Amino acid sequence: MRKRIVFTLMCFFASAQIFCETWENEQIKKSYSVRERTLDRNMMYKFFIENFGNENEDLVIENILNKPSLFGGGCLPYDVEFKEARFSKNNNNWQDGCIYSVYEIGDESFKKMSVLRKAHVDKVCNAYANSPKALNHFLKKQKLNLMSDKSVENIKKVIEVFYSNEEMKKNLTNVTSKMGDLTWEKLVVYLCKSPGWQIL
């Protein structure tokens, strides 16, 4: 029995060593890593404000602009003219401020997609879809309104706000235009929550 245990342990350590060596060899075989090129916190903030207006701006600040660890993008502390302590909308160019520390100046340009990031974006998307004022602002920019016909052409206009990829636009138009109970709210929240538009 003791011999068997010793043999088993030997096998275990040998397999661990081989696993490590194989992993190491795999690393040597690669010269690169791939990360999806996502939008940073400044791009996300500008996207929401530009398309949905200032309604819910505080929510965008709280969930996106104030989350450098999830969205990246860095900051420009010398651009901000401080009148008040910390992050305040009374400061000129406050959007460029560092959130927690000036050391964020060297933050990564972008961060990978994550569950937490998605949760914060979803929260913002829900708020916009539930706000008639924001929704009207969004549709008005596309020369549409809440009563506009859900034609393929109109749906495409909305999709184009989120996606520029031709294949994606075609597929999404096909899928969404066939939805029986489609409303503008549903379409906007569906697109807004799909993470693909945040990847360039």
Question: Is 46 one of the binding residues for another protein (CB under 8 A)?
Answer: yes
CB of 181 to another protein, least distance (A): 28
Nearer to another protein, 174 or 179 (CB): 174
17: exposed, middle or buried (C-beta count within 10 Å: 0-12, 13-18, 19+)?
Answer: exposed
Amino acid identity, position 88: S
**SS3 category, 92:** strand
Among 52-60, 67-75, 130-138, 185-193, which window interacts with another protein (CB under 8 A)? 67-75
Question: Is 113 one of the binding residues for another protein (CB under 8 A)?
Answer: no
Q: Going by C-beta distance under 8 Å and a sequence separation of 6 or more, which residues neighbour residue 182?
A: 150, 155, 176
Question: Is 33 one of the binding residues for another protein (CB under 8 A)?
Answer: yes
CB of 39 to another protein, least distance (A): 6
Q: If you ran DSSP here, which 8-state letter would residue 147 be given?
A: T
Question: Is 90 one of the binding residues for another protein (CB under 8 A)?
Answer: no
Amino acid identity, position 32: Y
Q: Cβ–Cβ contacts within 10 Å for residue 111, how many?
A: 21
User: Which spans of this chain sit near another protein (rule: CB under 8 A)?
Assistant: 4, 7-8, 11-12, 14-15, 18, 25, 28-40, 42-43, 46-47, 50, 73-83, 85-86, 92-93, 96, 101-103, 105-110, 160-161, 164-167, 197, 200
